[in-house]
Structure 1
Amino acid sequence: MQSPYPSAALDEARRAIAEKLREIRRDAGLSGREVAARAGWQPSKVSRLQSATTPPSDDDIRMWCRACEAEDQIPDLLAANRTADSMYLEWRRVQRSGLRRLQESRVPLYERTRTFRVYSSTVIPGFAQTYEYAAALLTDIARVHGTPDDVEDAATARVERSHIIRGGGHRFAFLLEESVLRHVVGDAAVMAGQLGHLLSVMALPAVSVGIIPAGRERSMWTLETFTMFDESRVSVELLTAAVTVTAPGEISMYARAFEEMSALAVFGADARSLISTAIDSLD
């Protein structure tokens, strides 16, 4: 059955809560209809909750646990439910006040992060974007999501917050699919300038850039673009949402995926050669 949730991480979190509700019911020796009767629900609601078709509200969790005489499970389940809620943020809601404010809102997180690990299968990471590339990309984002048109200010804010890539106390590891170098954002001149800038970023002492060559035999499939902030959180970028991952087990999975992707990538002179070839291919 197709998941009702937009990412594997969120789907997994919701299904874990549903499975816990099912376990509580079974431990209480109750059928789904008995739980429904005690909670004053239709039996179909119990089915939807324990199949993860419908996410539970906090009141649903309280009612379920009380019906099963498992009130001691309420605090942990509420915490898990709220974590799952926070994992999914609609881009439209986040961007409602404009793209510039969205760029600026991330500065505190960037300032306190020591090690950034960024895997991108879509675009050049924001830390390494030129103003022209950022403006072209944000113009597309504003058009698709229907957000307020403050692209120039937003692009300026994105470039300004990237000062940390040249400051001390931070390290950056970028992994890019080769297709990112070939996807023209803006026009050929904008893309050439961006790829040239990427070459200069590679020379910074705190930056590592790896390129995963197209056509390389691989054990790890292409993933959605994600950024790891130390070991504390992962931000996963989707078309309609930003998913924030904070569960230690899931963060470890992204860390392992990053390591596997790193093993596929080329660095140094080989990476620069791929970037230079992409520049030469532009009309």
Structure 2
Amino acid sequence: MPASPSSSGQQARQAIADRLREILRDSGLTARALARQAGWDETKCSRLIHARTPPSDDDIRTWCRICGAEDEIPNLIAASRSAENAYLEWRRVQRSMKRMQDLGLRLFEDNRVYRFYSSNLVPWPLQTPGYMRAIMQRFSDFHRADVPDIEDGVRTRMARRRFLDDGTRRCAMIIEESVLRNRVFGDEVMKDQFRHLLTGMRQTNLSLGIIPLAAVRVQKLTETFHIYGDNTVSIELVSAIITITQPREIDLYIRCFNDLASAAVYGDKAEALITAAIGALE
């Protein structure tokens, strides 16, 4: 497994190594005793607990089994698998907008329940082509990247909607009212997008909640995050996409989403906020 240039990737690997060290200490075994029982060279234990060598799935299973900590295996394996790809800098994917869309497509194909929270933009399942195009162009300009395949990216994202059209998948979306109030793109693009929200939110397997500006709430976030099934969370930051696959962390985001959902309004109240936003652009 190649070393990651990202400091966040190194921190993730170090956290796994630290946990292996704690498990070893709690077991009362020495590194030499563990290596002997595992049939390893003694230096392997040193490399693992100092994060010089990333553990394989089998390494983790063996380590935890010998130390009597088999309940740690699922979380450690999930953390180890995601450590190298957990922090993906935008500059690594910006050369191909379509590649970014393909990353999301695989997550959509593999799951049937999706939860999206956005503090700044309309989530993609309810985006119009014009809104998508404006987002991708803004991304290209901000990161100072020449992105020639914006139209391919738009087509890929539009094609992804077929997963919601078959009625077997469910999507819950929550946005802040500020998404409706901030004029991030031209008025015509925004009005077209908001009119589409009024139509799209009536889809039976899709729900749209809007958190009013004056809502009483227990959570206030700035980052956008997407939850795919119960196995992956994707978080969008200014500089990177962070992917989380560790069950304990995913559970925190699911609980956070539920808190945000409790502060949102739906149905007629949500429609009223959208209609007011359209009126403000007229």
Counterpart residue identity of residue 109, structure 1: L
Paired residue secondary structure (2:249): helix
The answer to whether the 8 Å contact 1:17/1:80 transfers is no
Partner of 1:124: 122
Aligned residue in 2 for 1:150: 149
Alpha-carbon offset, residue 112 of structure 1: 3.1
Q: In 2, Cα distance between the equivalents of 1:102 and 1:160? A: 14
Q: What is the Cα deviation at residue 81 of structure 1?
A: 3.6
Gap change, CA 1:168 and 1:29, over 3 Å in 2 = closer
Take 1:217 and 1:11, find their aligned partners in 2: how far apart are those partners? 36
Q: C-alpha separation between the residues in 1 aligned to 2:79 and 2:152?
A: 37
Q: Is 1:246 matched up with 2:245?
A: yes
Compute the displacement of 1:5 (Å).
Answer: 3.7
Structure 2 residue runs without a partner (length 5+) = 1-6, 32-41
**Cα distance, 1:82 vs structure 2:** 4.0
Matches within 5 A, 1:200-215: 200-215=199-214
* TM-score for both structures, normalised by structure 2: 0.76
Structure 1's 13 and 147: CA in aligned 2 closer, same or farther, altered over 3 A? farther
Provide, for residues 99-118 of structure 1, a one-character-per-residue CA deviation record: whole Å limited to 9, x for no partner. 02321343233133211111
Cα distance in 2 for residues equivalent to 1:226 and 1:160: 21
State the Cα deviation string for residues 212-243 of structure 1 (Å, max 9, x = none): 00122211122421111111211111122111
Separation (CA, whole Å) in 2 of partners of 1:199 and 1:266: 14
Determine helix, strand or coil for the equivalent of 1:127: helix
1:17 deviates by 4.0
The answer to whether the aligner puts 1:165 opposite 2:180 as a matched pair is no
Q: 1:13 offset after TM fit, Å?
A: 7.7
Aligned pair in 2 of structure 1 residues 229, 90: CA closer, same or farther (>3 Å)? same
SS of match in other structure, 1:281: helix
Q: Is the 8 A contact 1:92 1:147 kept in 2?
A: no
- Alignment partner of 1:211: what SS? strand
Instruction: Determine the C-alpha separation between the residues in 2 that align with 1:108 and 1:85.
Output: 18
Distance 2:163 2:64 in 1: 49
1:170-209 equivalences under 5 Å are: 170-209=169-208
1:123–1:180 Cα contact (<8 Å) kept: yes
Local SS of the residue matching 2:84: helix
1:63-102 to 2 correspondences below 5 Å: 80-96=79-95, 98-102=96-100
- 1:153 Cα deviation after fit: 2.3
Shift of 1:186: 2.5
Query: Are the equivalent residues in 2 in contact too, given 1:210–1:266 (CA < 8 A)?
Result: yes
Rounded Cα–Cα distance in structure 1 between residues aligned with 2:187 and 2:165: 27
Q: Check 1:155–1:184 CA distance in 2 against 1; reply closer, same or farther (3 A cut).
A: farther
SS at match of 1:263: helix
C-alpha separation between the residues in 1 aligned to 2:105 and 2:173?
Answer: 19
What SS does the corresponding residue of 2:172 show, helix, strand or coil? strand
List aligned pairs for 1:36-115, cutoff 5 A: 56-58=51-53, 80-96=79-95, 98-115=96-113
- How far apart are residue 57 of structure 1 and its match? 3.4
Alpha-carbon distance, 1:165 to partner:
2.6
Structure-2 separation of matches of 1:56 and 1:192: 52
Query: What value does the CA root-mean-square deviation take over the aligned residues?
Result: 3.4
**3-state SS, counterpart of residue 221 of structure 1:** coil
TM-score, normalised relative to structure 1: 0.75
Any conservation in 1 of the 2:132–2:154 contact (CA below 8 Å)? yes
Deviations 1:174-203 (A, max 9, x none): 100111112223300000000110111111
Alignment partner of 1:172: what SS?
A: strand
| 1:34 corresponding residue in structure 2 | none
